[in-house]
Amino acid sequence: MSESVAEVSLNVEAPIDAVWSVLADGWSYAGWVVGASHIRDVDAGWPQQGTRIHHSVGPWPFTIEDVTEVVRCEPNQLLELDARLWPVGAARITFTLRARSESLTEVHMTERAVRGPTALMPNAVQDVLLVPRNKETLQRLNALSKGRPAPFH
């Protein structure tokens, strides 16, 4: 079966540094990643390659505890994650950032199931499940980014 890729994009109303600062704050993930309910821990050095967010997904007390690991990180440009949620499976999620102006950042998000039962679902079914959730994820990222001052260099 071919790999499905659910793709969404949004022009976030914030400078690229502000958007990146939300992505680089592992503790913020439960605030904007749809489905994440609790961040239990964030490895020192996040979002360097190999670091992890230890998260819970779902409503309490029926949460599933797992991790999301950084596969690739290019600050202010790209963050690629291996998001695990066993027994459901795992997905490869990539955020690509592109400055459209000093105050507008295009965020492109792709997600594809890579392991577990979800990887066996037909592409069209994965898209029906993932695209609306990922659109909401980007809307939440937009809201947090607009309220975050850009970091000093």
Q: What is the mean pLDDT of residues 11-30?
A: 96
Q: What is the pLDDT of residue 45?
A: 97
Kindly report the CATH number that applies to the domain delimited by 6-24+68-146: 3.30.530.20
Q: What is the pLDDT of residue 149?
A: 65
- Is pTM beyond 0.95? Reply is no
Residue 1 has pLDDT above 50, yes or no: no
The three-state DSSP-derived secondary structure of the chain is: CCCCCEEEEEEECCCHHHHHHHHCCHHHHHHHCCCEEEEEEECCCCCCCCCEEEEEECCCCCCEEEEEEEEEEECCCEEEEEEEECCCEEEEEEEEEEEEECCEEEEEEEEEEEECHHHHCCHHHHHHHHHHHHHHHHHHHHHHHHCCCCCCC
The mean of the pLDDT values for the chain is: 91
Q: What is the mean pLDDT of residues 35-59?
A: 94
| Tens of pLDDT, residues 83-97 | 998 778 899 999 999
